[in-house]
A and B are shown apart, each in its own frame.
Chain A
Amino acid sequence: MSDFLPSAIQLGYLVAASLFIVGLKQLGSPATARQGNVLAAIGMLIAIVGTLLEKQVVSYELIVVGMIIGSILGTIMAKTVAMTDMPQMVGLLNGFGGAASALVAVGEFWRYLSIPESPTPDATITILLGVLIGGITFTGSLVAFAKLQELLPGAPMTFPLQQPFNALLAIALLAGSGYMLTNPENVPVFLGLVAISNILGIMFVLPIGGGDMPVVVSLLNSYSGIAASVAGFILMNNMLIIAGALVGASGIILTQIMCKAMNRSLGSVLFSAFGSGGKTAAAGGAAGATDKTVHTIDIEESAMMLGYARSVVIIPGYGMAVAQAQHAVRELADGLEKMGVDVKYAIHPVAGRMPGHMNVLLAEANVPYPQLYDMDDINPQFEETDVALVIGANDVVNPAARYDTASPIYGMPILEVDKAKHTIVIKRGMSAGFSGVDNELFYKDKTMMLFGSAKDVVAKLVAEVKQL
């Protein structure tokens, strides 16, 4: 009978792992996605209950306190976060996951201090690995969160001697880890390694530009999985290892998909300073901008152009989402359709700030799914489009990406709105996009700028179109 519970727990873990796999699979298809999420959540519940029954868990006070605090805060966060802030949210949650794994590693180190037995080299290695990956995930995610939340400037941040400094950190990390293998219970060196791991996370994300932040969040998502897996190695718990590995692998796949959409290799996102090359190009562009003219257009005229067009393609960007204009945009599309205009939405793979982010935002506003077109499907249609209406998008419609090798966004596939017969751009002002690059689309003769907050402007357009 005493053998029954451990076996039951292991079987429970097996069920939970299966539910995670089936859940992830179902998350990949629109029809089953919601069910998949529920299955994964059930798997998590089974895994947690199983762990609570483990024989080494004997006191529940602290566990209950931690779980209640976490559940309350988590529920509040999930219920109140705006859909536009989803990338930051995922970033922050990643950070929490990474921190938890790192804390488990640190806690396990402290447990060894209180018992006569010293950690074996295996244990030391896994603990240090847990601290390293968990620490990088934690601070890296916080920096990514701060950049997306605009607490830190989105532009890449560099300082003199950054590379030598990083190299020094890496050397210190290796030296310290080597020392720990022979002196596994040295507290100052251990704390030093904890600090270095956290600093490395900051150094890793700071020099990456805001435009590449989705890739970073996705990569850190993968790291948080690997960190959980390492925690599993530390505690010899298969459930942790499996779930962590699943997330680690999924994060890497997603990261690759995102890099592909931006036509950048992962290496160039992480190591080439997007900004250092970009800053000069942006500066050059801004200087050139002063002698280019911008054509503006008023609301009434825009409404006429849209209302009497045969086909309109709407290009929603993050600016539209920030202004919470997606409902107004749908109203505008409805109004235009009533007048017989063919309305489509062009969705860039990285529209918004994460792949699929824009789809979520438009779904929130009940935009019919068949009206959404992927970049590859819509690009050949722009030449027959009367009006391309760009709402709060910038970098993803910058023609410089096609030919200007000096531009930091060179090579990124774009929505070719400049091929449409007319383009109307709704924008707050002439500021550069998230990548910090000026957009030459705004100076073209066919392009008309309609300045104002997306929500106000679109609402007025809706009213004007009704009167046509």
Chain B
Amino acid sequence: MAEGLIAGLVVFTLASFVGFEVINKVPPTLHTPLMSGSNAISGIAVLGAILISGKGNVTVTSILGTIAIALATINVVAGFLVTDRMLQMFKKKEVKA
């Protein structure tokens, strides 16, 4: 068993508990923005894509990585922008009230 794997599992488990606790109490109003916001964070896969596609020479790996970068960037950019668009509407209404 590689030590790195164990260290990764420790980080993964602790981060999962943080995720559970952070999101425990959310009013239903915000479920949709929360879903799209956390979805944007899952676009973090772009990091992995950058790491495999920036190694220098053009290979199958770097091509796959580039496609992955494009897809994950869509996920990140669209996710955050659309969440902001939704939340903006709530804001507008609060000012009125």
Which residues of A come within 8 Å of B, CB atoms?
17, 20-21, 23-25, 27-31, 33-34, 36-38, 40-41, 43-44, 47-48, 51-52, 54, 56-60, 62-63, 65-67, 69-71, 73-75, 77-79, 81, 83, 86, 89-90, 93-94, 96-97, 99-101, 103-104, 106-108, 110-111, 114, 120, 122, 126, 217-218, 221, 224-225, 227-229, 231-254, 257-258, 261, 347, 349, 352, 354-357, 359-360, 363-364, 366-370, 372, 374
Known A56-B54, A66-B70, A253-B24; judge A246-B41 contact (CB<8 A): yes
Which chain B positions have C-beta within 8 A of A356? 28-34
Give complex CA distance A93, B49 in Å: 16
- Scoring A65, A69, A100 by chain B CB atoms within 10 A of each residue's CB, the highest score goes to A100
Instruction: Taking A94-B42, A234-B48, A356-B31 as given, write out 10 further A-B residue pairs in contact, using a Cβ cutoff of 8 Å, ordered by the A residue number.
Output: A48-B46, A52-B50, A71-B77, A78-B81, A100-B49, A111-B61, A246-B16, A360-B32, A360-B90, A369-B93
> Known contacts A62-B62, A356-B29, A366-B93: does B12 contact A245 (CB below 8 Å)?
yes
User: Which chain B positions have C-beta within 8 A of A57?
Assistant: 50-51, 54-55
CB of A351 to closest CB in B, whole Å? 10
Most buried by A among B2, B11, B16, B56: B16
A-B contact list, 18 entries, CB within 8 Å: A21-B22, A23-B37, A33-B30, A51-B50, A66-B67, A70-B46, A73-B78, A78-B81, A94-B75, A107-B60, A107-B62, A107-B65, A225-B41, A232-B8, A237-B48, A251-B35, A360-B32, A368-B96
A75 to B40, CA, bound (A): 13
Cβ-defined contact, A245 with B19, below 8 A? yes
Taking A97-B71, A100-B46 as contacts, is the C-beta distance between A34 and B35 under 8 angstroms?
Answer: no
- Asked if B45 and A104 make an inter-chain contact with CB atoms under 8 angstroms apart, the answer reads yes
Q: Chain A contacts of B51 at CB under 8 A?
A: 51, 54, 56-57, 235, 237
A241 B20 Cβ-Cβ under 8 A: no
On whether the beta carbons of B55 and A66 are closer than 8 Å, the reply is no
Given known pairs A58-B56, A66-B49, the reply for A242 and B84 (CB within 8 Å) is no
**Interface SS of A by simple majority:** helix
Q: Roughly how many angstroms separate A252 CA and B22 CA in the complex, as a whole number?
A: 12
Main secondary structure of the interface of B (DSSP, over half): helix
- A77 nearest in chain B by CB position: B78
* A257 to B86 CA separation, bound complex (whole angstroms): 21
State the Cβ distance, B40 to closest chain A Cβ, in Å: 7
Q: In the complex, are the beta carbons of B15 and A241 less than 8 A apart? A: yes
State whether A78 touches B19 (Cβ < 8 A). no
Contact across chains for B67 and A240 when beta carbons are under 8 A apart: no
Distance from A94 Cβ to chain B, minimum over Cβ atoms (Å): 6
CA–CA, A77 and B41, complex, Å = 17
Residues of chain A within 8 A of B44, CB atoms compared:
44, 47, 228, 239-240, 243-244, 247
B57 to chain A, nearest CB (A): 8
Partner of B78, one of A23, A33, A75: A75
Known: A56-B51, A237-B47, A253-B23. A33 touches B90 (CB 8 A): yes
Say yes or no: A94 contacts B39, CB within 8 Å.
yes
Report which of A17, A56, A74, A225 forms a contact with B42, defined as CB distance below 8 A. Answer: A225
Residue of A nearest to B91 (CB): A34
Closest Cβ of chain A to B67, distance in Å, is 6
Residues in B with CB closer than 8 Å to A99 are 68, 71
User: Could you say which of A54, A221, A239, A354 contacts B38, with CB atoms under 8 Å apart?
Assistant: A221
Q: Report whether B78 and A366 are in contact in the complex, using a CB–CB cutoff of 8 Å.
A: no
Give Cα A217 to B27, complex, Å. Answer: 19
B39, B42, B59, B80 pick with most chain A CB within 10 angstroms? B42
Q: Tell me whether A51 and B86 are in contact in the complex, defined as CB-CB below 8 angstroms, given that A96-B71, A249-B16, A360-B32 are known contacts.
A: no
A231 cross-chain contacts in B, Cβ below 8 A? 45, 48
Residues of A within 8 A of B69 (CB): 62-63, 66-67, 70, 100
Specify which of B46, B47, B79, B92 is in contact with A93 (CB 8 Å cutoff). Answer: B79
B46, A86: Cβ atoms under 8 Å? Answer: no
Residue on A with the closest CB to B97? A368
Given known contacts A52-B50, A77-B78, A246-B41, is B32 in contact with A86 (CB within 8 Å)? yes
Q: Are B32 and A60 in contact (CB under 8 A)?
A: no
A65 to B56 CA separation, bound complex (whole angstroms)? 14
Considering only CB atoms, which chain A residue lies closest to B17 in the complex?
A: A249
State in angstroms the CA–CA spacing of A216 and B89 once bound together. 26
Please give the distance in Å from B65's CB to the nearest CB on chain A: 5
Specify which chain A residues have a CB less than 8 angstroms from the CB of B40 in the assembled complex. Answer: 37, 40-41, 44, 93
Most buried by A among B13, B63, B67: B67
Tell me which residues across on chain A come within 8 A of B90, comparing CB atoms.
30, 33-34, 360, 363
| Complex-state Cα separation, A350 to B72, whole angstroms | 28
